[in-house]
Structure 1
Amino acid sequence: MREVAVAGSGFSRFAGVEPVRIWNGEAELVLAMRPDLTQHHGHAHGAIVGMMADNACAWAAASVAGDVVTGSYTISFLAPARGSRLRARGQVIRKGRRQVVVRADVWAESDDAEPVLAAIAQATIVPVG
């Protein structure tokens, strides 16, 4: 699954997304923050936080449904994503034949501070395989 998730996605590879675990309806991934991934206040750009949520949802769904694409997702930003890395965790809520509903949490982490929940998302993932 790692090879499909990262090698198959040029953008995820470019950003530096690293899967920690993709298994049985769950996915966890980490991204080391870089200055070119931030917005004008120095936090992770919303598009990067969204990418992490989207990938966590899609990769969790793929672990139970095979080849998938994102049909839609909704994200709520809860706090600035400050830190040295982002961690996203996705979990399948319900798997159907035509769609998989998944939830993701995106955390901003640093070695010297408690993780901060930066965003939550819900996605509808569509099996295409």
Structure 2
Amino acid sequence: MDDFLERTRQALAAQPFTQLLGATLERMDGEGVALALPLRDELKQQNGFAHGGVLSYLADNALTIAGAMGLGRAVLTSEFKINYLRPAVGATLVARATVIHAGRRQAVCRCDVFARDGHGEKIVATAQGTIAKVDELPAG
């Protein structure tokens, strides 16, 4: 797991969009993965809560990392859906993803996104996705 953890950290560090948003790997273990993102003003929409695209980014990346835990490193998101449950307000967003089922070529994963503040966490979105194993990752 340590080698996989380090490769995951390197992959996140190599993603310009992840760096722009400021997301970090908070946890990765046998239970799943958690990505955290400080909720800055630049990531909010006009009403003061997190933009849906930010929540979607977190869910997508967490789902993909969870899928990689079940399938191996070379994976891509095949599809996912997200349900926004309430406005996301707080200091930090946290996406926690787990594998529901992994076969030989694809994994179905679930992710819940929470808004965290000084009083705890509230779920703000839930997502489910299919992560596909690929023979090799396309050149970027």
1:87 Cα shift? 0.5
- Tell me what 2:53 maps to: 47
Q: Is the 8 A contact 1:22 1:59 kept in 2?
A: no
Structure 2 unaligned blocks of 5 or more: 1-7
8 Å Cα contact 1:90/1:103 also seen in 2? yes
Q: Distance in 2 between matches of 1:123 and 1:11?
A: 20
RMSD (CA atoms): 1.2
In 2, are the aligned partners of 1:25 and 1:61 still within 8 Å (CA)? Answer: no
Query: Is residue 104 of structure 2 the alignment partner of residue 97 of structure 1?
Result: yes
Superposition TM-score, scaled by structure 2 size: 0.86
User: Given the two structures, how large is their TM-score scaled by the length of structure 1?
Assistant: 0.92
Match of 1:34 among 31, 35, 40: 40
Assess if the C-alpha contact under 8 Å between 1:58 and 1:69 holds in 2: yes
Following the alignment from structure 1 to structure 2, what is the Cα–Cα distance between the partners of residues 16 and 74? 23
1:1-129 aligned within 5 A:
1-4=8-11, 6-24=12-30, 26-65=32-71, 66-111=73-118, 113-128=119-134, 129=136
Larger radius of gyration: 2
Sequence identity (%): 37
Question: Where do 4+ consecutive residues of structure 1 move more than 3 Å?
Answer: none
> What letter is aligned with 1:11?
F
C-alpha distance after superposition, 1:44-75 (max 9, x if no partner): 00000011111111111112322211111010
